[in-house]
Amino acid sequence: MIRTLIIEDDFRVAEINSAYVSKDPDFEVIGLAHSAATGYQMVIEQKPDLVLLDLYLPDEHGLELFARLQQLPRGSKPDVFVITAARDSQSLKDAIQLGAATYIVKPFNGHELIERLRTYKAAHKRLNTAGEVSQSEVDATVALMRGSKLSDLPKSGTSNPTTNSIINCLKESTGAMSASEIADALRISRATAQRYLAQMADRKAVILELQYGTAGRPINKYRLAK
């Protein structure tokens, strides 16, 4: 569940945005704040994953609040969607430098917010998946956080020879296999095996399992989905 806080001085707009967020069952609106002071306090107390932030607040400019949120301890900083009527390039530049996940200009179509939430959810899922990430996963996650649509991301077809080789390797295995084990069996690099396995996991063609040993980090193991 992605816990979401809306900081918006217009009561009606806040309710509308809350309704859009609530359309997705994977998001939970944990509160509405109509001032920077209230919003900051709610972030401290409730630790949301995501904040929808207006810039024109009655007691403080939203970017100043954003900067204060960035000073919170690691792990306590929420991601921020800037939703504002500000169209000047300086506001956009400042928001990007502060690390805004997206910047939506009012007035906007509700479907635009829904699409941004959907791509953010995909990025959030990737970032909260345990284990190492491949370069392809890094690129896809960054693209999603920058607002790319899921349909815009490159996909590998199941007819790819390397994909088919991995499938056959997993079929012949008596249990789940790591990327290193598959790489050795197919005589390909571990990075290549990891990249294909990550793409296959995204399509739910394989299932990722964590295997814990006596010491050290867990090992990613993969098996074919039923």
- 149 pLDDT band, cuts 50/70/90, is low
- As a whole number of angstroms, the longest Cα–Cα distance in the chain is 64
Any idea where the domains of the chain sit in the sequence? 2-127, 155-224
Q: Which CATH class is domain 155-224?
A: mainly alpha
Same fold, 2-127 and 155-224: no
Between CA 106 and CA 58 the distance in angstroms is 18
Higher pLDDT pick, 84 / 217: 84
Distance of CA 202 to the CA centre of its chain: 14
**Geometric angle at alpha carbon 185, from 180 and 191, rounded to 5°:** 35
Between CA 50 and CA 28 the distance in angstroms is 10
Instruction: Please give the pLDDT value at position 163.
Output: 84
Superfamily for the 2-127 domain: Response regulator (3.40.50.2300)
Residue type, 47: K
Peptide bond into 78 cis (omega under 30): no
* Mean predicted confidence (pLDDT) in 39-62: 96
Describe the strand order of the beta sheet including 2-7 as a list of residue ranges: 27-33, 2-7, 50-53, 79-84, 102-105
- 154 pLDDT band, cuts 50/70/90, is very low
